[in-house]
Structure 1
Amino acid sequence: MKKLLKVALVAVCMVVAGNFAKAQSKIGYINTNQIMEQLPEMKTLQTQMQAYQKTFSDQLATMSTELQSKGQDYEAKRSTMTDASRTATESELQDMQTRITTFRDNAQKQIEAKSNELLKPLTDKLRAAIQAVAATKGYAYVLDSSQIELIVSPAGDDLGPAVKAKLGLQ
């Protein structure tokens, strides 16, 4: 009976010790935005995105200018127009406003999609470097400090310098 009790006690202690060891997983953190900004490819990407956005903003400016000029022309001639032509012009101006709004919404979606497409290789590269450093240093979890506020963050758990070194940044 005493042997059975001792074996059971040892088994319970081993299970508790095993769970305690699992609970001691290392957690690190990194500011991914800061590192992304330092990547040399980011400057090229920003230039490409500015050029891409400019094509939409130029078209939007042209459309807005056309709407303004037609609106001013309508206001100037409104009192001399017939009811039918006034209704037709108002309908045309409303249609132009709708097209501008639709164009702006679609442009925003296309810009966001293009940004995600261009950023994907950089984020994949950064993620691979973070995973390699975390595996090397024995970290089970790595938090992104640019996404959450860390109240307590010991410098020893900051993987930023190691990831920068892995990516060849200073």
Structure 2
Amino acid sequence: MRKLINVFFVAAGLLFTANMASAQQKLGHINSEEVFANLPEAKAAQTTLETLGKTLQASIDGMIKEYQTKLAAAQAKEKTLSEANKEAVGKELQVAGQELQDLEKRITDARTKASQDVGTKQGELFQPIQAKVATAISAVAKEKGLAYVFDIANGQGGNNLVFWEGGDDITGAVKTKLGITATAAKAPAPKK
């Protein structure tokens, strides 16, 4: 019985010590959308991506216009079909149909490639920016003695932090560490 009581007290002591240690950990939060919205490199990267997207879309739009023109020509040719010219017009329509199928495939392939190109370019442009921001977040968290930093940005797709009481908002400190001085409208914080 005495051993059981000793084990109980040792376990309770360990539990109490663990609770005290975890209670001393500091938490912080950051709004990464606000940081990225004010980061000149991110703005430039976004502009580059938009320009690339518009260029690729213009090329695809040109192919779509060509498809529509050829389709209209084939439909007009079909209206001229008669018994007298059935064989000649039929061959022309068959050739036009094949051209339309080929053009349709080119459009589909161009859309797929454009999507891949934009994704690749996005990775090339934003990966170094994200690394720079992550380094700044780590530095600020270490300076402030934070054990955990939560991202409260709504656009992150998985904002699992639905409530916080206090904690250090390190958004301003990270922006300062990155050399951001402009202040933009703050993104709304999650509802408590």
Quote the offset at 1:110 in angstroms: 0.9
- Please say which of residues 4-13 and 143-152 is displaced more in the overlay: 4-13
Which residue in the other structure is 1:68 paired with?
68
Quote the offset at 1:149 in angstroms: 5.3
Compute the RMSD of aligned alpha carbons: 2.4
Which residue in the other structure is 2:86 paired with?
none
Q: Determine if the alignment matches structure 1 residue 124 to structure 2 residue 131.
A: yes
Q: Distance in 1 between matches of 2:21 and 2:124?
A: 38
- Please say which of residues 143-152 and 124-133 is displaced more in the overlay: 143-152
Q: Determine if the alignment matches structure 1 residue 163 to structure 2 residue 174.
A: yes
When normalised by structure 1's length, the TM-score is 0.85
CA contact (8 A) 2:26 2:146 kept: yes
Q: Determine if the alignment matches structure 1 residue 20 to structure 2 residue 19.
A: yes
Give the 5 Å matches for 1:18-57.
18-24=17-23, 25-57=25-57
Point out where structure 2 has 5 or more consecutive residues left out of the alignment: 82-88, 182-192
Structure with greater helix share of residues = 1
Percent identity between the two aligned chains: 34
Q: Distance in 1 between matches of 2:92 and 2:35?
A: 60
Q: Distance in 2 between matches of 1:7 and 1:166?
A: 52
Q: How many residue pairs were aligned?
A: 169
Q: Distance in 2 between matches of 1:155 and 1:39?
A: 26
Point out where structure 1 has 5 or more consecutive residues left out of the alignment: none
Q: Distance in 1 between matches of 2:6 and 2:38?
A: 58
SS for the counterpart of 2:150 is: strand
Aligned pair in 2 of structure 1 residues 110, 22: CA closer, same or farther (>3 Å)?
A: farther
Question: What does the per-residue CA deviation read over 1:14-41, in whole Å, with 9 as the maximum and x for residues that have no partner?
Answer: 4123311343233322111211110111
Q: Distance in 1 between matches of 2:76 and 2:122?
A: 43
Q: Distance in 2 between matches of 1:130 and 1:28?
A: 10
Q: Determine if the alignment matches structure 1 residue 142 to structure 2 residue 149.
A: yes
Which residue in the other structure is 1:91 paired with?
98
Q: Distance in 2 between matches of 1:18 and 1:135?
A: 24
Q: Distance in 1 between matches of 2:43 and 2:162?
A: 32
Q: Distance in 1 between matches of 2:14 and 2:160?
A: 35
Q: Which runs of 4+ in 1 moved over 6 A?
A: 4-7
Question: What does the per-residue CA deviation read over 1:30-61, in whole Å, with 9 as the maximum and x for residues that have no partner?
Answer: 11121111011123212322222232122112
Quote the offset at 1:7 in angstroms: 6.8
Quote the offset at 1:10 in angstroms: 6.0
When normalised by structure 2's length, the TM-score is 0.76
Q: Distance in 2 between matches of 1:65 and 1:5?
A: 84
